[in-house]
Amino acid sequence: MGSRWTWRLVALPGVAWLAVFFLVAFYAIVCVAFGNQDTLSQPVPFWNPLDWNVGYVLEVLRNFWHGEQYLTVSIRTIEFVAIAIALCLLVGYPVAYYTARHAGRWKGLLLVLLILPFWINYLMRMLAWINLLAPDGWGTRMLHDIGIERAFISLNLLSARGGWLDGQPSAVIIAFVYGYVPFLILPLVVALDRIDQRQIDAARDLGASPFSAFMRVTLPLSKVGILAGCVLVALPMFGDYYTPDLVSASTKTNLIGNQIDQFTRQGSQKVTGAVLTLILSLFLLLLMFYYLRTTRAAGKVAGEE
């Protein structure tokens, strides 16, 4: 009894923190979205749900329904994030796999190297890329010399030589992958590290080839890590507006985060901005529920042994 209360007490600051900085803040966004503005274009939140005004929400939903700009940027955002996550996995999984299972005594060092990018601010790392990818930058020259530039041009992913910063969707996606891939690798390393080597040995003993042992044992057992990593990178990517702004600023790479930024920070339509924020949050909430359900199911499967 006593210890149960101790733990509840220990959890209290965290719960209070979440309540104040998440629930209250989120409720404020809801009340702005279901509120109105005054003649000074300042938002007037309606705190009582009985007073809520659905005018602005319906206006945004109508915009989606008619396939106007909010639908355009939402679909584009989902596309960019999906491709970026797939690339993150493609790059991150082998790295995580090697670190967790084959690095031996170098594991600690590798982990430190993986965490190293976190020492430098995300914006700084993006700004560095702007100079690297400038028409006469080192990065541009290197991509040219090793043939990647030509490959991108022939695949129609780059419009001209040295044009990485000319408002290319591919540049935004590459920047996403570069900026967020460490967040994906770390949970993957943990998940892969926890896999019992004996299960893989057992698969091999029962006649599985290394490939099929990987496909049928390692990969399913690392599913929780994959999902956790994907969620960790998807959440910030969906709201990101400064990466497309910095490396492109083209209208062809305008994401939902850019629209929200435009309405709330630069513009005077804070209510519309709050509605878009709310819709994005609900979408992310759905993804989170899917993640929680899957990991819980996976946890139950693991618990059955």
What backbone phi and psi angles, to 5 degrees, belong to 167?
80, 50
What is the Cβ-side half-sphere exposure of residue 102, based on CA atoms within 13 angstroms? 5
3 state SS of 33 = helix
79 is an interface residue for another protein by CB under 8 A: no
295 is an interface residue for another protein by CB under 8 A: no
189: exposed, middle or buried (Cβ count in 10 Å: 0-12, 13-18, 19+) = buried
**Among residues 222, 243, 248, 277, which is the contact residue for another protein, using CB under 8 A?**
248
**Among residues 8, 18, 26, 41, which is the contact residue for another protein, using CB under 8 A?**
41
**Separation between Cα atoms, residue 19 and residue 282, nearest integer Å:** 18
Among the listed ranges 100-108, 119-127, 166-174, 181-189, the one in contact with another protein (CB under 8 A) is 166-174
How many residues sit in the footprint of another protein (CB under 8 A)? 55
Nearest to 260 by CA among 62, 70, 14: 70
Whether 31 contacts 47, CB under 8 Å: yes
252 is an interface residue for another protein by CB under 8 A: yes
Closest CB to another protein among residues 19, 301: 301
62: exposed, middle or buried (Cβ count in 10 Å: 0-12, 13-18, 19+) = exposed
What backbone phi and psi angles, to 5 degrees, belong to 66?
-85, 5
Q: In the stretch 128-147, what mask flags binding to another protein with x, by CB under 8 A?
A: ------xx------------
**Separation between Cα atoms, residue 30 and residue 47, nearest integer Å:** 9
37 is an interface residue for another protein by CB under 8 A: yes
Among the listed ranges 68-76, 97-105, 192-200, 220-228, the one in contact with another protein (CB under 8 A) is 68-76
69 is an interface residue for another protein by CB under 8 A: yes
300 is an interface residue for another protein by CB under 8 A: yes
**Residues in contact with another protein by the rule CB under 8 A:** 34, 36-42, 44, 49-56, 58-59, 68-70, 72-73, 76, 134-135, 159-160, 163, 165-168, 248-254, 258-259, 262-263, 265-269, 272, 297, 300-301, 304
